[in-house]
Amino acid sequence: MQVVYRLLKLTSKVDYSRFFSDDVPGFMRSPVREIFRKVDLASIYSFAGGYPDASTFPLQEMEGLTRKVVEKYGAKALQYGGTQGVNELREAISKWYAPWLYAGCGKAVGADGDAPKSDPATVRIPLENIQITTSSQQGIDVCARIFLNPGDVVLTTNPAYLGAIQSFKAYRAEVRNLVAAMADSADGGDTLRKEPSRRAKFIYIVPDFCNPSGETLSLEERLSLVEFARRKDLLIIEDCPYRALRYSGSNIPTIYSLAPERTLHLGSFSKIFAPGFRLGWIIGAPALLEQIFICKQALDLCPPVFDQYLAAEYLGSGTLDENLSRSISLYREKRDYMLALLHRYMPEEVSWTEPDGGLFLWVTLPPHVDTVAMYDSALAAGVAYVAGTFFSLDGGFRNAMRLNFSFLARDRMEEGVKLLSRVISEALIPQKTVEK
């Protein structure tokens, strides 16, 4: 007790603020992570986080897989590994992911909601194009780190994935609206040329079942994005953690397959295996991956080796594919149920997106409803969401919210939606009174 007291007394005497770098004031907190810090997930109906359904985790297989890794790789599995990732996993991804990477563009065929198939003997991703990451969040951050100087511009959708905005801001980049920049360019404008100190370096995009909007870019939208990137000489960071989670519609070619010379394609095991493993990959031109390789030496030396061998064995045995098709059926059912519940319980002034895959949908309320202000009432009622403004580039979307439909158990979803619609209905009342 005395030691703790002495420590408290000493730390209160130091002004730590002068030690922090100039980057620190730009760091943003994630409201999603803050919610989880304060609230016990089990005690509320949470539509907030991007958590997979825990029943999709291959718990049963873990014992056998772990034993296999220990027997097959021995001490190697506990040793440091290469910064680029272990070859066994890169080879497994080269085979397994090629159909997903090329689905929809003639090299692989995918029926509605089915895993795309291709001949693994002919379609492979060359190993020199694959870098393993300690999850796709690191993939985003490492791209930001190698490309961005303070003041550089990143173009993205509005709303955009919060973790990416956090990363770009941490490097003091300016995050601007991609659609506005493309429209400006189509009208003959060129805002960036008028501001020579501002250099646009890359487009960041989640083309499949975007977090947070749930929307998917059409082929035409992908083609015009690629045309814009080529004309403006921009790189494209294509973040695809949800690509394999399609529940309806057909696969659309990845941006990487349309513009491999300027795209870094990010994949992740988080939503199709288990986020706790923290494993992902980047596919791109070797000259770009080389800088990422050097940067990662200072970040983490190498991705987690034991986890990589587990993932390689899991992929190689075909168990991931079996598990994935079960996850897809489960999530398809949950998405359909969530949409049915929204139709049944939400007031008529409320609208939402209907995603073909992924884990989220985006809800829009009448303009006068402030989902940040409404949040405390929602938590008090026992239900959580993420307010839309946290994904906004310009403080907008105060009347929107992101809802996750993967995490909550199916038998708790109805009560959660009922509670949320009650909170929303109460927030709508003042406007109704004014209108009368």
Ligand X SMILES: Cc1ncc(COP(=O)(O)O)c(C=O)c1O
- Closer CB to ligand X, 176 or 243, in the complex: 243
Hey, CA dihedral for 164, 248, 50, 103, is it positive or negative? negative
Q: Give the three-class secondary structure for 107.
A: coil
Selected binder of ligand X within 275, 284, 303, 416 (CB under 6 A): 275
Residue 66 to residue 74: CA distance in whole angstroms: 11
- Closer CB to ligand X, 116 or 275, in the complex: 275
**Residue 28 Cβ, how far from ligand X at the closest point, in Å?**
15
Selected binder of ligand X within 263, 268, 389, 392 (CB under 6 A): 268
Selected binder of ligand X within 52, 280, 357, 388 (CB under 6 A): 280
Sheet holding 400-404, edge to edge: 351-352, 360-364, 400-404, 386-387
Selected binder of ligand X within 94, 129, 213, 270 (CB under 6 A): 270
Selected binder of ligand X within 35, 45, 50, 90 (CB under 6 A): 50
| Torsion angle (degrees, nearest 10) of CA 427, 432, 434, 436 | -160
| Residues 6+ positions from 405 with CB-CB distance below 8 Å | 47, 331, 334, 335, 337, 338, 359, 360, 361, 413
Does position 163 bind ligand X by CB under 6 A?
Answer: yes
Residue 122 to residue 236: CA distance in whole angstroms: 26
Give the H/E segment covering residue 203.
Answer: strand 200-205
Selected binder of ligand X within 69, 130, 206, 374 (CB under 6 A): 206
Whether cis (ω within 30° of 0) applies to the bond prior to 430 is no
Does position 99 bind ligand X by CB under 6 A?
Answer: no
- Closer CB to ligand X, 73 or 331, in the complex: 331
| Cα-Cα end-to-end distance for the chain | 63
- Closer CB to ligand X, 386 or 417, in the complex: 386
Does position 156 bind ligand X by CB under 6 A?
Answer: no
**Residue 80 Cβ, how far from ligand X at the closest point, in Å?**
22
What letter represents residue 36's amino acid? F
- Closer CB to ligand X, 118 or 254, in the complex: 254
Between residue 291 and residue 310, which ones bind ligand X under the rule CB under 6 A?
none
Does position 157 bind ligand X by CB under 6 A?
Answer: no
**Residue 37 Cβ, how far from ligand X at the closest point, in Å?**
17
Piece in contact with ligand X (CB under 6 A), picked from 87-95, 268-276, 290-298, 374-382 = 268-276
Does position 207 bind ligand X by CB under 6 A?
Answer: no
Whether cis (ω within 30° of 0) applies to the bond prior to 25 is no
What secondary structure does DSSP assign to 34-92, as a single string? Answer: HHHHHS-GGGSEE--S-PPPGGGS-HHHHHHHHHHHHHHHGGGGGS---TT--HHHHHH
- Closer CB to ligand X, 137 or 251, in the complex: 137
Does position 241 bind ligand X by CB under 6 A?
Answer: yes
Piece in contact with ligand X (CB under 6 A), picked from 134-142, 315-323, 362-370, 392-400 = 134-142
Q: The tokens of 158 are what?
A: 């509005």
Selected binder of ligand X within 56, 83, 131, 135 (CB under 6 A): 135
Q: What are the residues binding ligand X (CB under 6 A)?
A: 50, 135-137, 161, 163, 206, 211, 239, 241, 268, 270, 275, 280
